[in-house]
């Protein structure tokens, strides 16, 4: 919503160029419709440092829209408001809250209505955001551990500012992540704002809202983390909502954060002081340095629907000149990865890539455009549209596509692609393809991210082919006085599996308690009680706790999701166990993992003990890479 208002402010700035300026006390009256025509009024609501609220009340209207303006911008006509504004309900009063605003700033809201014949505008409504005040419980952070400019996202016209603030000295662990060295707090913020020039990197002021789309004035939840240490152990929190307000007075920044974690706990922070931002190292991918001209022998594509919320369709197309297996080139060769914006194809309609000439998109997605290739520092995998080369040893090289054309012609089910592309450095990438393109429909996929899960949709695992599972008794390995069990519903010849860890009373040693279990948040000792399900987590790159897993024909894990919430019901009839599960993963927008399994269990007694105070189970054989700073998407 904030981005819409920013675009409107820009549009209204253009209107201002052709209008007569006016001061605050002498606004031109908006056009007024006839007495018996449509009308609209605005009523002020509450304001905060980053939000304003108001109500829109139309009457006798067939259409209604509103605009938010800067205080010094003249009021546009009703026609402009209706054509360029935000659509609102025309038959009833509607409350509106606008977020991501600048503290102590006056904004002007105007609305317009039409009945199809005549139009009318509201009186301008001035709303002023409040001053930022520090909550009494705010944690004061007094030092900058790290402030890095990670680079730019060309598609979104934004840049990544990674800021780590603390009130205690911090040290890096074996993986390179900072942790509090003693009792205290470390807050890591992944802020996306407007790019700033080399040699003068500066964090833009404004209100950053928690959102994973990496648009200006957003806070990425995937890399915004709180770590709190009591001096011996630390707790880690991810966030589901919140905002960060950045203010600046000369060289002094004030950063105020209010963030809500997954358990609805609210955390307030404040930092005041200087902020020197360093450039990150150059992208770590190896570039293609020669021209490419090839003929592709195969292709496939993914359709994501309107994933960019632009009203257009989004495709990822993969063209390759050597065979592929499990999404990877089988020998030295080239793969062209294209992100295309097409007319929108709705659910139930035939999915195809539209004919046309596609050129590079300058910033936001537009019709018949391709997303330019871009890379982020400290990341070996570029994004957007790229050419990938694998050498004889399987090492990848990339060319980031930033110009040229892609001609697409489809006759029946046969496509002809003609690519005449180039990079910023002037490297030419050319290729042709003629043939069919199988398209996988991923319309409706959730964005993913936020944790270890690789899911984008709800899943119901197919476990019918698994006749016997394992029931593993771990004993009192948590040193909490209870019995722990692992249920492994897995078979070598079945792609999908579930592994569940539960806690029972210590009287259960040869069989599991039947009943209703609940996934408990975190892994704190206070939550690890009978009828609790251990949530999924990673221990030294291995899955631990409760997980859903999917493997390919070679036995490699291709999908994995830890249980972060939900319930499990276990019952028994003779030798047959029934395990019913309804779980959620750890994505920012959670995916549901639900279903049931019935079969026999092989009992395994394997008591295991750890030193008191630790809360980890034995390692599994499931190896999933730890959460990465970024990840490539070019495997199909």
Three-state SS annotation for 318-330? EEECCCEECCEEC
Sign of CA dihedral 315, 318, 319, 323: negative
pLDDT value, residue 278: 86
Domain that holds residue 153: 139-279
Cβ neighbours of residue 545 under 8 Å, at least 6 residues apart? 501, 523, 534, 535, 536, 537, 562, 563, 617
Task: Quick: pLDDT tens for 5-56.
Answer: 333 333 333 333 333 333 444 444 444 444 578 999 999 998 888 889 999 9
617 within a domain of the structure (yes/no): no
**Is the domain of 250 the same as that of 369?**
no
Mean pLDDT for 429-458 is: 85
Can you tell me which residue has the tokens 């914006």? Answer: 341
What is the percent of the chain with per-residue pLDDT over 70, rounded to a whole number?
85
Long-range contacts of 523-529 (CB under 8 A, 24+ apart): 523/615, 524/235, 524/615, 525/478, 525/480, 525/615, 528/478, 528/480, 528/482, 528/503, 528/615, 529/480, 529/482, 529/503
Position 2 confidence tier, pLDDT thresholds 50, 70, 90: very low
**How many structural domains compose the chain?**
4
Residue 326 inside a domain? The answer is yes
pLDDT of residue 197: 82
Mean pLDDT, rounded, for 517-527: 79
Q: Does residue 449 lie within any of the structural domains?
A: no
pLDDT of res. 362: 66
Shared domain check, 544 and 479: yes
pLDDT band at 540 (very low <50, low <70, confident <90, very high): low
- Domain limit, last residue, from 128, 153, 170: 128
Structure tokens at 336: 């062209």
φ and ψ of 84, to 5 deg: -110, -10
pLDDT at 615 exceeding the cut of 50: no
Per-residue pLDDT for 189 more than 60? Answer: yes
User: How many other CB atoms are there within 10 angstroms of residue 222's CB atom?
Assistant: 19
What is the pLDDT, as a whole number, of residue 401? Answer: 93
With respect to residue 627, please indicate whether it lies within any of the assigned structural domains. no
Please, are residues 243 and 218 in contact by the beta-carbon 8 Å criterion? no
pLDDT of 461 strictly over 90: yes
Distance CA 530, CA 517 (A): 8
484 pLDDT higher than 60: yes
Q: Of 334, 337, 452, 451, nearest to 397 (Cα)? A: 334
For residue 155, is pLDDT > 70?
A: no
Q: In this model, does residue 622 exceed pLDDT 80? A: no
Average pLDDT score, the chain: 84
**Looking at the structure, do residues 102 and 62 belong to the same domain, yes or no?**
yes
Distances (CA, A) of 174 to 82, 105, 178, 179, 340: 57, 45, 10, 11, 40
Output the pLDDT for position 616: 31
Q: Span 102-129, mean pLDDT?
A: 92
Distance from C-alpha of 259 to C-alpha of 137, rounded to nearest angstrom = 13
- Would residue 134 count as lying in a domain? no
Of 319-328, 392-401, 519-528, 560-569, give the lowest mean pLDDT range. Answer: 519-528
What is the predicted pLDDT for the residue at 13? 35
State percent of the chain over pLDDT 90.
51
Q: What is the mean pLDDT of residues 279-293?
A: 84
Final residue belonging to a domain, choices 128, 162, 183: 128
144-147 long-range contacts, Cβ below 8 Å, gap at least 24?
Answer: 144/271, 144/273, 144/274, 144/275, 144/276, 145/170, 145/178, 145/186, 146/178, 147/203, 147/275, 147/276, 147/277, 147/278
569-578: average pLDDT: 96
Let me know if residue 287 belongs to a domain: no
Question: Residue 463's closest CA among 369, 608, 593, 279?
Answer: 593
From the DSSP assignment, how many helices (H) and strands (E) are in the chain?
2, 46
What gap in Å lies between CA 566 and CA 581, rounded to an integer? 8
Q: What one-character DSSP code corresponds to residue 374?
A: B
Rounded to an integer, what distance in angstroms lies between the CA atom of residue 111 and that of residue 40?
Answer: 7
- For the chain, the residue count is 636
Same domain, residue pair 399 and 515: no
Distance CA 277, CA 144 (A): 10
- 430 and 532 in a single domain? The answer is no
* 337 and 399 in a common domain: yes
pLDDT tens digits, 303-359 = 988 877 778 889 999 999 999 987 889 999 999 999 999 998 877 789 999 999 999
Do residues 306 and 232 share a domain? no
Judge whether residue 624 has pLDDT over 60: no
- What is the C-alpha separation between 426 and 401, in angstroms, rounded? 10
The predicted pLDDT at position 107 comes to: 93
pLDDT of residue 136: 73
Q: Which of 358, 352, 355 minimizes the C-alpha distance to 336?
A: 358
Q: How many CB atoms lie within 10 A of CB 264?
A: 8
Say yes or no: 308 and 437 in one domain.
Answer: yes
The confidence score (pLDDT) of residue 24 equals: 42
Does residue 628 form part of some domain? no
User: Residue 24 maps to which CATH number?
Assistant: 2.60.40.10
Neighbouring C-beta atoms of residue 233, cutoff 10 Å: 11
pLDDT higher than 70, residue 620: no
Q: Report the chain's terminal Cα–Cα distance, integer Å.
A: 33
Co-location of 108 and 242 in the same domain? no
In the predicted model, is pLDDT for residue 619 greater than 50? no
E strand spans, 412-539: 414-423, 428-435, 439-441, 468-475, 483-489, 496-504, 515-519, 532-533, 537-539
Does 254 share its domain with 298? no
Same domain, residue pair 117 and 204: no
Residue 420 has what pLDDT?
A: 97
Q: Tell me whether residue 461 is in a domain.
A: no
Residues 203 and 333 occupy one common structural domain? no
Average confidence (pLDDT) over 241-250: 90
Please give the pLDDT value at position 290. Answer: 95
**Which tokens in the block code for residue 558?**
């291709």
Which residue carries 């003068």 as its tokens?
A: 200
pTM score? 0.48
Specify which residues 420 forms β-bridges with.
405, 430
């Amino acid at each position: 919503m904030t981005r819409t208002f920013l675009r409107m402010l820009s549009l209204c700035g253009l209107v201002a160029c052709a209008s007569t300026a006016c001061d605050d006390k002498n606004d031109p009256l908006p056009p007024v419709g006839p007495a018996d025509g449509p009308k609209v009024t605005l009523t002020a609501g509450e304001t905060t440092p980053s939000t304003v609220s108001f109500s829109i009340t139309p009457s006798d209207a067939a259409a209604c829209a509103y605009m938010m303006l800067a205080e010094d911008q003249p009021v546009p006509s009703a026609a402009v408001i209706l054509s360029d504004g935000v659509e609102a309900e025309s038959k009833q009063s509607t409350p509106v809250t606008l977020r991501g605003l600048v503290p102590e700033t006056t904004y002007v809201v105007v609305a317009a209505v039409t009945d199809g014949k005549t139009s009318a505008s509201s009186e301008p409504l001035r709303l002023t955001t409040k001053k930022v005040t520090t909550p009494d419980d705010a944690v004061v952070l007094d030092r900058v551990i790290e402030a890095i400019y990670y680079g730019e996202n060309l598609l979104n016209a934004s840049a990544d500012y990674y800021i780590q603030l603390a009130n205690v000295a911090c040290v890096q662990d074996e993986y390179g992540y900072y942790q509090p060295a003693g009792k205290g707090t470390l807050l890591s913020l992944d802020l996306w704002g407007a790019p700033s020039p080399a040699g003068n990197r500066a964090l833009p002021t404004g209100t950053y809202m928690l959102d994973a789309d990496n648009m200006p004035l957003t806070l990425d939840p995937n890399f915004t983390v709180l770590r709190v240490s009591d001096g011996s152990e630390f707790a880690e929190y991810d966030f589901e909502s919140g905002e960060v307000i950045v203010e600046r007075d000369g060289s002094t920044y004030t950063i105020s954060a209010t963030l809500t974690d997954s358990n609805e706990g609210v955390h307030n922070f404040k930092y005041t002081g200087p902020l020197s931002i360093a450039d990150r190292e150059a992208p770590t991918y190896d570039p293609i340095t020669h021209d490419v001209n090839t003929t592709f022998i195969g292709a496939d594509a993914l359709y994501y629907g309107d994933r960019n919320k632009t009203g257009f369709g989004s495709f990822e197309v993969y063209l390759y000149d050597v065979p592929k297996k499990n999404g990877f080139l089988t020998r030295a060769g080239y793969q062209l990865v294209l992100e295309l914006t097409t007319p929108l194809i709705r659910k139930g309609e035939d999915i195809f890539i539209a004919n046309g000439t596609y050129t590079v998109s300058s910033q936001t997605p537009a019709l018949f455009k391709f997303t330019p290739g871009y890379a982020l520092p400290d990341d070996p995998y570029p994004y957007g549209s790229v050419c990938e080369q694998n050498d004889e040893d399987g090492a990848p090289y990339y060319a980031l596509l930033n110009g040229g054309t892609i001609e697409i012609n489809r006759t029946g089910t046969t496509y002809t692609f003609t690519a005449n592309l180039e990079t910023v450095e002037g490297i030419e990438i050319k290729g042709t393809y003629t043939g069919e393109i199988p398209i996988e429909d991923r319309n409706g996929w959730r964005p993913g991210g936020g944790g270890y899960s690789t899911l984008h949709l709800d899943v119901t695992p197919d476990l019918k082919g698994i006749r016997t599972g394992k029931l593993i008794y771990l004993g009192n390995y948590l040193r909490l006085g209870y019995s722990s069990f692992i249920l492994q519903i897995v078979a070598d010849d079945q792609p999908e599996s579930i592994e569940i860890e539960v806690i029972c009373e210590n009287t259960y040693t040869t069989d599991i308690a039947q009943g209703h279990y609940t996934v408990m948040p975190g892994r704190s000792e206070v939550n690890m009680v009978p009828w609790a399900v251990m949530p999924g987590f990673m221990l030294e790159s291995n899955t631990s706790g409760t997980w859903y897993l999917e493997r390919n024909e070679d036995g490699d894990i291709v999908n994995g999701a830890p249980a972060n919430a939900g319930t499990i019901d276990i019952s028994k009839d003779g030798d047959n166990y029934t395990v019913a599960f309804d779980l959620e993963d750890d994505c920012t927008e959670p995916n549901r993992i639900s279903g049931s399994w019935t079969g026999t269990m092989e009992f395994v007694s394997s008591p295991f003990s750890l030193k008191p105070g630790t809360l980890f189970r034995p390692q599994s054989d499931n190896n999933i890479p730890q959460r990465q700073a970024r990840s490539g998407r070019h495997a199909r």
